[in-house]
Copies of this chain bind each other. A is one copy, B any other.
Amino acid sequence: MFLLQLAVILFFTKVAAFLVKKISLPSVMGEVLAGVVLGPSILGIIQYTEVLSHMAEIGVILLMFAAGLETDVNELKECGNTSILTALGGVVLPFVGGSAAAYFFGSNLYESIFIGTILTATSVSITVQTLFEMGKLKSREGLTILGAAVLDDILGIIILTLIAGVAVGETSIMLLLIKITAFFFLCWLIYRWQLVKRMAKIITRLRLQEGLLSFTIIVIFTFAYISEKSGVAAIIGSYIVGIMFGQTPYKERVLKSIQPFSISLFIPIFFATIGIRAELEHFSATIGFAITIIGVAILSKILGCGLGAKMTGMDLMASIRVGVGMIPRAEVALIVASIGLKNGIISSPTFSSAVAMVLITTIITPIMLKYSFAVGNETRLIKS
């Protein structure tokens, strides 16, 4: 059953990706839509099982690792200031806007603040994949987005911890902050001492069958685990590991051996599960609220992140592109939403609205990104 399930998902995601590409949209959109069609929302052929969730987790981790591998650290440093302001703008506006909108619709204070929190954390995997396909991942916009998403995630998690800590009364905020700091200090040490490069050198000398890839996978999984335990999302951990490997001479070899299976098995499953998890039947009950939340989610990121980017001297079109790239919410938003649902902070219709928001922002971003870059290219053509 499980093998057939995987085969069906892979077949339909690939067909959808192909069709969507035919109309010049990024394949990732097709993969998410295939998930919606196969999942409980429409056909109900595929259910979201534990195994699927684990395969999807490996998928998003490998995706972020590849993004890290392709990241040029020096270029990322140059985008530093832009990223910080982008992240700040992209956290403050969605948080305030989301909270206000929910309060306006009659949510209590806790629920309102929680909805604001759900709207903060960007999930750049969709943007990364789209930019990657467009060959724009290494553009200034791409690097700003990646940098901002790293900070954004940290800010979002800090807010969540504060809110959930207050609402549920479980978590020690100081302890969490210490753990996050310790994690990034550990990353800095490994990076500083070039431990990845040194170990990879030893491994390749041992001449094991696929030794380098095995080493890479072990490091990715271990780091994803450690980062999660430190209160940083696993995808951030794997992204950092990607950066570490990207600084070694083994970059190309690692990319070449890790990409085929990622692209043809794990990553399509990840994007399909986003669609599968969107239970659209709950959506119609709260259509007005949901539409408002979705509108706030989209506009607050474009405005907030765009403003942040603009303030550091980026031109208008590039700032908008950064804002657009920061729109999608996925894992973190879904995780936050389910924490809220579990602890009785948000209601079930609110949860469905959050899922719809994840879905819409996910689907809309590739289209808007493509369009925003197309407009940019025209501008440049006119100028030259």
Contacts and interface: CB of A to CB of B under 8 A. Distances in A.
Interface string A2-27: 11101100110010011000000001
Given A61-B3, A260-B260, A14 B214 contact: yes
A225 interface: yes
Given A14-B214, A51-B51, A221 B3 contact: yes
Q: How many copies does the complex hold?
A: 2
| Main secondary structure on A side of the interface with B | helix
Given A2-B57, A14-B208, A18-B206, A225 B257 contact: no
A210 B57 contact: no
A54 interface: yes
B210 A264 contact: yes
A3 B210 contact: no
A258 B208 CA distance: 17
A38 B288 CA distance: 54
B225 A10 contact: no
A268 B20 CA distance: 37
Contacts of A3: 57-58, 61, 221-222, 224-225, 228, 234
A259 interface: yes
Interface in A190-225: 206, 208-211, 213-214, 217-218, 221-222, 224-225
A27 B214 CA distance: 14
A265 interface: yes
Contacts of A209: 27, 263
A134 B369 CA distance: 52
A265 B213 CA distance: 9
A185 interface: no
* Most chain B beta-carbon contacts within 10 A, residue among A2, A3, A14, A58: A3
B4 A222 contact: yes
A125 to B, nearest CB: 16
Contacts of A1: 225
Contacts of A260: 210, 213, 257-258, 260-261
A50 interface: yes
A31 B370 CA distance: 47
A264 B254 CA distance: 12
A210 B14 CA distance: 10
Given A7-B221, A221-B10, A261 B54 contact: no
Given A11-B218, A18-B208, 13 more contacts: A2-B57, A3-B58, A4-B221, A10-B217, A10-B221, A50-B51, A51-B54, A210-B259, A210-B264, A213-B261, A213-B263, A214-B265, A217-B264
Interface of A: 1-4, 6-7, 10-11, 14, 17-18, 27, 50-51, 54, 57-58, 61, 206, 208-211, 213-214, 217-218, 221-222, 224-225, 228, 234, 257-261, 263-265, 268
29 contacts: A1-B225, A3-B57, A3-B61, A3-B225, A3-B228, A3-B234, A6-B221, A7-B221, A7-B222, A10-B214, A10-B218, A14-B211, A17-B208, A50-B51, A51-B51, A51-B54, A209-B263, A210-B264, A213-B260, A213-B261, A213-B263, A213-B264, A214-B264, A214-B265, A214-B268, A217-B264, A257-B260, A258-B260, A261-B261
